[in-house]
Chains A and B, each alone.
Chain A
Amino acid sequence: MADKITIGRILRLLAISAKMDLVWLLRDTKYAILGIAGDMVNNVATVSGVFLIASRFGGIGGMSADEVMFMMAYSTLVTGIFIMFGAGNSIHISRIIGRGQLEHLFIQPLPLGVQLMTRGFNPFTGGGNLVVGTALMALAVNRLGLVITLWWIAQLIAYLITTMVIIIARSYLVSSMAFYAPAAAEEISSTAIDGTWFMSTFPLSGMPKYIQFPMLTILPEGLMAWFPALCLLGKPPLNLTAYYPMFFALAISLAASYIFKKGLRHYVQKGSNRYLSHGFRR
């Protein structure tokens, strides 16, 4: 019998995941700290590349070096939230599907969505980039002389949530392939998430429209940092409404939900035979 799902129940599940994360940190501190440091170094290296170029050339495509830093801070915050909620392949869902591990979730007395939402929460070992992102954001805001109001902070949170929704929805959309081709599509979410991460740090300002528009629609990397950052700076690009990312997030979520459910039905009927008797994947 499945538990009744309430906000309190979800918070308790998140607390269980957080507690397990803390236990790892306390029992295996050296390796946990190495993991945290690795995450932070990698992200700082990724975003600093673009920032260093902006510093070297005095800005990129009309964005000043400080505005580029603001965009990189936003990108780091997104990375931080992603890592904090994404442990255990909850967002890289094609790995779970492709490896035939959905069954592990089916036997739990909780809806699939609730499990996926709560099981990857690792605030202690996964929160490093969120801290770095917050510090970078404070620095960028200070250098740009932005006036911070409660409304601005609410907007920042709304954009961060929207960006996360787009990342997750796209991952689930493409991961639906793994229901039909578990071996071949096992890593498709890595292609969709990790493969595009670097691209999402590109400031698109100054590029031709035939590059900008596809990167806000077909391959929405412009919505991962560039568009929201410019909106938060009060300069929504391309004469689009500042709410465009929200509309896009809604559309891609609906598409992902439909396709994923269809794939799940196929999986439930056909199953997966990825494992050999001695444990290795086929």
Chain B
Amino acid sequence: MKKYLKTAHLSASEKTNGGIIYLFPDILIKIFTLIPLVYLWRVVMSSGADAGMSLGQMLTYTYVSALLADMLVVKTAASGWLSEGVLQRLYGRPLPVLSQLAAQTVGGWLPMLALFSLPMALISPLFGVRLIPASPLFFVSLLLCVALGFAVDFLFACLSIKLRSMNWLIGRMRMAIAAIFSGTVIPIRLLPFGMAEVMKYQPFASLGGAPLSVFTGVGDAGETILLQIVWNLVLWPFALYVWKKSQEGMVSYGG
């Protein structure tokens, strides 16, 4: 375990080696996205239409989504590992590659959690946001979300191997998923034209949208967690199988 903690620590330090000041643009963008988004939902919900959730729940949903963004749709360095030379680094260390990636990714979350999420959580009452989970099952759901996020990420990494390292394409697909299918930006239950009923069963809905709905108490926690477990059981063996098959196809040409 120590070696993984060390990997995570290295990853966290790597983000701040150039000085914390270089993280500020990203932090500012996150803050300046979150604040208008909170007001956007205030405006939208003030129309009086029945959304199946209260304004308070909606604001909490949006706020928590921003604070935990990295965990809700996991992104490791794997998608770019063929073109960025990450591959060479990972295979050169005496640790399993996927475990290294996981440790490295979790470590990479820490600076933003400390510099953005924590301060914003402390000032959340100023925005009228209540950051107390409706159910302790939220933590279980978050754990399952992160686990599933890694499986999905590894599948995307395998896809990038198959597609000759077309990182741009992979990145665009992931952004589309985050925007619509994961429910992290727009709660799936708010989608119109009957889309909500269909969308809640697809695997990406078990990513960010699942713990957020448990946190805010708008979803049935038992059903949400059951779906998450099912998708983990389906996608993890599949990801490991595809990963094993894909390794032979890797070609790295550095940066």
Contacts and interface: CB of A to CB of B under 8 A. Distances in A.
A264 to B, nearest CB: 20
A132 interface: no
Contacts of B186: 49, 52-53
A205 B169 CA distance: 33
Nearest to A198: B33
Interface in B19-78: 19, 22, 25-26, 29, 32-33, 35-37, 39-40, 43-47, 49, 51
Nearest to A39: B172
Contacts of A174: 25
Nearest to B178: A45
A145 to B, nearest CB: 23
Interface stretch (B103-111, B142-150, B160-168): B160-168
A244 interface: no
B172 A42 contact: yes
A60 B40 contact: yes
Nearest to A282: B255
Contact of A184 (B19, B45, B170): B19
B29 A31 contact: no
B234 interface: no
A226 to B, nearest CB: 11
- What interface size band does chain B fall in? 35 or more
Contacts of B43: 60-61, 205-207
Contacts of B121: none
B8 to A, nearest CB: 21
A57 interface: yes
Contact of A42 (B18, B44, B51, B173): B173
B35 A211 contact: yes
Interface in A151-202: 174, 181, 183-185, 188, 191-192, 195-196, 198-199, 202
Contacts of B19: 184
A42 B176 contact: yes
Interface residues of A, number: 50
B113 to A, nearest CB: 18
A38 interface: yes
B176 A35 contact: no
B180 interface: yes
B226 interface: no
Interface stretch (A9-17, A18-26, A273-281): A273-281
B40 A181 contact: no
A39 B170 CA distance: 10
Contacts of B35: 211
B137 interface: no
Interface in B203-255: 254-255
B74 to A, nearest CB: 19
A61 B29 CA distance: 23
Q: Which 5 A-B pairs have CB atoms at the shortest separation, nearest pair first?
A: A184-B18, A45-B176, A42-B172, A206-B43, A38-B172
Interface of A: 31, 34-35, 38-39, 41-42, 44-46, 48-49, 52-53, 55-61, 99, 174, 181, 183-185, 188, 191-192, 195-196, 198-199, 202-208, 211, 214-215, 219, 221, 278-281
